[in-house]
Amino acid sequence: MAEKVSTEKTVSARDAIMSSVRKGLGVRGDEPGRRGVVQTRLRNPVANLIPERARGTKPELVKQFQTMLENGGTGVVRVRTYKGVPEAVASALRERNLPSRVRLGGDPFFRTFEAEPGLLEILGGAAEATDLVGLSHAFAGAAETGTLFLASGPDNPSTLNFLPEHHFVLIDASDVFGSYEECWAKLRGVLGAGVMPRTVNLISGASRTADIEQTIVKGAHGPKSLVVFIVGSARE
């Protein structure tokens, strides 16, 4: 009985909040055509204001993307081809005195690692508490803020973004865009209309906070370091 009462209170509170919102907007919520307007906007999304820094040639945007990341304390490694990715990751681990072991998902982006047996110890699946390094693939990046877009799922479990102490992220140079809107457009284009992953994580740097005595502490709520590998050359 207690559970039923709790549910009724929750529904009542929600109704009260929605009623206040409708009153503030001056609508009832059941007006003819209202749902149609919403559906039309969802089917035909309109881009917001695009800042000037999000405009430019692909090489210019990739350079800005790298600069924004580095300005935020993120390590950036440029890799010419996919074949060079495993060695680049192994080198980054050695430079940071980390074991040659990474946890990654089933993303096809990581198939190059299969061609380099013995170079790295590869662990698959969701991250575990003992993992030091998680390796993810970002489906897009926004140059305007140096932000990585990562979609959740078996290919790139979200735990890799937050649980290991160090987060390595691979992104193809062709997937770097100027604005957030272009990144969302790519996701819609890949998954199809009306389809979204459970979570899209936007990452612009390692976890940090200055809540305590205004002293910056890294790794407060997630990885204490972020390294981004930009693969391929940026073309017009």
Residue 48 falls inside a structural domain: no
Residue keyed to tokens 């440029």: 78
Whether residue 137 sits in one domain with residue 36 = no
Whether residue 92 sits in one domain with residue 70 = yes
Tokens at 211, concatenated: 């809540």
Q: Which of 111, 172, 162, 97 has the alpha carbon at shortest distance from 141? A: 172
pLDDT, tens digit, for every residue of 23-40? 888 887 777 777 777 777
Whether residue 216 sits in one domain with residue 109 = yes
Whether residue 109 sits in one domain with residue 139 = yes
Q: Which of 83, 203, 99, 97 has the alpha carbon at shortest distance from 142? A: 203
Residue 236 falls inside a structural domain: no
pLDDT, tens digit, for every residue of 93-108? 999 999 999 999 999 9
Whether residue 210 sits in one domain with residue 125 = yes
Q: How far, in Å, CA of 7 to CA of 107, rounded?
A: 41
Whether residue 225 sits in one domain with residue 120 = yes
Give the CA distances from residue 141 to residues 119, 220, 225, in Å, rounded to whole numbers and listed in that order.
Answer: 28, 24, 18
Domain that holds residue 120: 53-231
Whether residue 31 sits in one domain with residue 61 = no
Whether residue 71 sits in one domain with residue 147 = yes
pLDDT, tens digit, for every residue of 41-54? 777 777 778 888 88
Residue 66 falls inside a structural domain: yes
Residue 26 falls inside a structural domain: yes
pTM of the model: 0.79
pLDDT value for 57? 92
pLDDT, tens digit, for every residue of 149-160? 999 999 999 999
Residue 99 falls inside a structural domain: yes
pLDDT value for 41? 78
pLDDT value for 44? 78
Residue 16 falls inside a structural domain: yes
Whether residue 110 sits in one domain with residue 87 = yes
Asked whether the CA dihedral 132, 135, 136, 140 is positive or negative, the reply is positive
Give the number of domains in the chain.
2
Whether residue 30 sits in one domain with residue 70 = no
Q: 3-state class of 211 per DSSP?
A: coil
Give the CATH number for residue 71: 3.40.50.10420
Residue 62 falls inside a structural domain: yes
pLDDT, tens digit, for every residue of 81-94? 989 999 999 999 99
87-93: long-range pairs with CB below 8 Å, 24+: 87/116, 87/119, 88/229, 89/120, 89/135, 89/168, 89/229, 90/119, 90/120, 92/168, 92/227, 92/229, 93/120, 93/133
Whether residue 212 sits in one domain with residue 147 = yes
Tokens at 147, concatenated: 């932000």
Whether residue 72 sits in one domain with residue 39 = no
